[in-house]
């Protein structure tokens, strides 16, 4: 056990013993550079130790810290007499069983004493020592100012971000509440024009489609609206938008204002007139539960059983869909050969349709018992899933009405 003893301290493990040896070597090096009988040098050493300039790993370092503290206090009580010589060997070593609380109290007291006495006694030091002490004080003041400035900037940024976020959240909530009130409204003067059929022309034929009366007022406000989605007893009760890309409504609301909540939108390649096999609607997963923030509740089979249906109306016809598959996926690289749900819009054949159904059934978190056949119309809701990078949470439903 003697081999595990350093500076009168015993250590149980070799690792602790080696750490103590490192502390002792560091202490020996300090003592070579500092004249422990010179009050000025001891006081300066103590100040450096208080700033954390020296780091120790074991109780050997703590003992040295106590020793310097006691010596510095004694020198201060003697009035910083540089001419006095003290035989350190005759000094009683600081008690090694002091608890950490006492050391902290003494350290705080030492700092206070130092701050109150050092400045008025600088003229007792030689020119080099005064320069070193003033330099240390200046460094500490600069560090203090930098920390205060950084804290101030951080606070301003945080409060600013919170304010902007709150503003957008409140505005979004009010906007969509007012839109829900307009659903079915006929208050706009432009309503008379909306009575006329909206005609969609294709190369083959003219198709006459009339906007449902329930959505005419909203459609007149923004003709990028293609439908409305609602899931009973949830926050999902929003207009669905569509434009020529899948980026615009990521950060714009129904009124075409910038809004970090974005809007729910139909994939740019979907067509509500010439129905695709599968209509895909995207929306943000907001922590507030807005947009499709609550969609991942479908990961629970119990939740699905209490919310089995999704109402999605296009502006031309109403539709009810029954949830069929619930799964997690992600956005894959183009060269990855894997099922990519977001590329499934149309099935050219029954074989292709069945293949897609098998892929989604294999991914589904549970079996709903609902199946689809070639010719059925599908609806897919897609939002972010943070369980993996570029993750997506997906709910697929089949039209039943």
Q: Where in the chain is the domain with CATH 2.40.260.10?
A: 222-399
240 contacts 328 by C-beta, under 8 angstroms: no
Cα–Cα distance between 369 and 341 in angstroms, integer?
20
177-186 long-range CB contacts below 8 Å, 24 or more apart?
A: 179/218, 179/238, 179/239, 179/254, 180/237, 182/217, 182/218, 182/221, 183/214, 183/215, 183/217, 183/218, 183/228, 184/213, 184/214, 184/217, 185/217, 186/213, 186/216, 186/217
pLDDT of residue 369: 97
Q: What share of the chain is helix, strand, coil (3-state, %, to 5)?
A: 45, 15, 40
CATH code, residues 222-399: 2.40.260.10
Range 48-53 average pLDDT: 78
Of residues 8, 60, 71, the one with CA closest to residue 35: 71
How much of the chain, in percent, has pLDDT values that exceed 70? Answer: 77
pLDDT of residue 160: 65
Among 27-41, 68-82, 259-273, 348-362, the minimum mean pLDDT is found in 68-82
Summarize pLDDT for 101-147 with one digit per residue, the tens.
444 444 444 444 444 444 445 666 666 776 777 787 888 888 888 88
pLDDT greater than 80 at residue 199: no
pLDDT of residue 81: 44
Position 56 confidence tier, pLDDT thresholds 50, 70, 90: confident
Of residues 338, 325, 332, the one with CA closest to residue 390: 332
Cα–Cα distance between 78 and 37 in angstroms, integer?
13
Question: CA dist 247 to 225, 244, 266, 314, 352, Å?
Answer: 15, 9, 11, 21, 29
Among 57-71, 142-156, 172-186, 317-331, the minimum mean pLDDT is found in 172-186
pLDDT greater than 60 at residue 288: yes
Cα–Cα distance between 77 and 94 in angstroms, integer?
17
Please, where are the H alpha helices in 183-248?
A: 191-194, 216-221
Position 62 confidence tier, pLDDT thresholds 50, 70, 90: confident
């Amino acid at each position: 056990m003697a081999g595990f003893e350093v500076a009168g301290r015993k250590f149980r493990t070799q690792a602790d013993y080696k750490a103590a040896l490192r502390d002792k070597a560091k202490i020996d090096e300090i003592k070579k550079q500092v004249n422990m009988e010179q009050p000025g040098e001891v006081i300066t050493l103590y100040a450096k130790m208080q700033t954390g300039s020296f780091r120790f790993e074991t109780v050997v370092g703590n003992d040295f810290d106590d020793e310097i503290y006691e010596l510095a206090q004694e020198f201060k009580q003697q009035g910083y007499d540089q001419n006095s010589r003290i035989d350190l060997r005759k000094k009683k070593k600081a008690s090694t069983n002091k608890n950490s609380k006492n050391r902290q109290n003494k350290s705080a007291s030492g700092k206070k004493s130092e701050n109150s006495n050092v400045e008025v006694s600088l003229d007792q030091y030689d020119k080099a020592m005064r320069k070193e002490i003033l330099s240390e004080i200046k460094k500490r003041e600069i560090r203090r100012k930098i920390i205060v400035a950084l804290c101030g900037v951080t606070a301003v940024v945080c409060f600013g971000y919170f304010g902007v976020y709150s503003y957008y959240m409140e505005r979004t909530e009010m906007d969509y509440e007012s839109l829900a009130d307009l659903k079915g409204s006929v208050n706009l003067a432009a309503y008379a024009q909306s009575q006329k059929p909206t005609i969609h022309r294709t190369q083959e034929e003219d198709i006459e489609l009339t906007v449902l009366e329930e959505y005419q007022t909203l459609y007149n406000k923004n003709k990028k609206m293609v439908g409305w989605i609602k899931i009973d007893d949830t926050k999902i009760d929003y207009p669905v938008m569509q434009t020529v890309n899948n980026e615009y409504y990521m950060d714009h609301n129904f009124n075409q204002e910038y809004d970090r909540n974005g809007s729910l939108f139909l994939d740019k390649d979907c067509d509500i007139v010439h129905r695709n096999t599968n209509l895909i609607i995207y929306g943000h997963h907001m922590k507030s539960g807005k947009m499709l923030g609550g969609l991942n509740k479908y990961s629970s089979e119990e939740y699905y059983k209490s919310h089995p249906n999704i109402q999605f109306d296009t502006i031309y016809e109403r539709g009810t869909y029954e949830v069929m598959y619930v799964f997690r996926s992600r956005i894959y690289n183009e060269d990855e050969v894997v099922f990519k749900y977001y590329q499934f819009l149309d099935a050219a054949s029954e074989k292709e349709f069945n293949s897609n159904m098998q892929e989604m059934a294999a991914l589904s978190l549970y079996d709903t018992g609902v199946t689809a056949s070639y010719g059925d119309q599908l609806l897919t809701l897609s939002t972010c899933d943070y369980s993996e990078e570029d993750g997506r949470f997906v709910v697929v439903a089949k039209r039943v009405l």
